[in-house]
Amino acid sequence: MIWPFKTSTRKKIARIEVTGAIAGGTRKAVLKALKTVEEKKYPALLVRIDSPGGTIVDSQEIYTKLKQLSEKIKVVASFGNISASGGVYIAMGCPHIMANAGTITGSIGVILRGNNLERLLEKVGVSFKVIKSGPYKDILSFDRELLPEEQSILQALIDDSYGQFVSTVAAGRNLAVEKVKEFADGRIFTGQQALELGLVDRLGTEEEARQWAATLAGLDPDKAELDTIEDPKPFLKRLTSGDSQLQIMADNLGLTETLKWCEFEVSTSGQPLWLYR
């Protein structure tokens, strides 16, 4: 895309937010924003991460693009309240990482959950007839117990995904794989602990991360402004967003985030996840 107007992006720092559970929508929005950063030739990027993680491939694609972009411009990650599991993974695409001392991070590992409703279905008299092409086509079905051989298949899948995660962290943080495995057991830790482990480079606020990005890019840290890259809302939605009494009530009760989380849980049921639950 050719931008019709010259802008002063050469003296600004692009900013992208990664918030909430990482899934397809997050991936599309972040990749689109990263393309804009590249096209507008910003000299630096600040990635603000406040996420418990999410789906594996979506996290991998964001990480890959960040790593590619970091070869052209300066990229700094700033951890907010939580940057765990898949949030850590995408940060590995950023050569420079800053966390708050109290940030919840870590949870390096993989989780897969299925639901067994067999006894409940028996009580209400519901059963299923399954025709399948192979013995494992209905693996993790909710109407029966998981078989031992199925457990082995899924554990091998989880172990492979875990190995990919550990290797990426080791490469991104210049640590030995065995060193990463010492703390990559699913545990969480604070930003202070992450600094001691070598998972982050510095402790500080988002503002301090902005100043760091500016310095790395050769900009004046006191003057370099942030440009947050995000999709503009439709005009009508901008006029009405946040004004609805029902919306305000839902936000105050936490219903909006709860519904988003429920939607994520349903859509990712049976998927291996890089997610802190």
The set of catalytic residues is 85, 137
DSSP the chain: ---SS---GGGEEEEEEEESSBSHHHHHHHHHHHHHHHHTT-SEEEEEEEE-EEEHHHHHHHHHHHHHHTTTSEEEEEEEEEEETHHHHHHTTSSEEEE-TT-EEE--S-B------HHHHHHHT-------SSTTTTTT-TTSPPPHHHHHHHHHHHHHHHHHHHHHHHHHHT--HHHHHHH-SS-EEEHHHHHHHTS-SEE--HHHHHHHHHHHTT--TTTPEEEE--PPPPHHHHHHTTT-HHHHHHHHHTHHHHHHHHHHHHHTTTS-EEE--
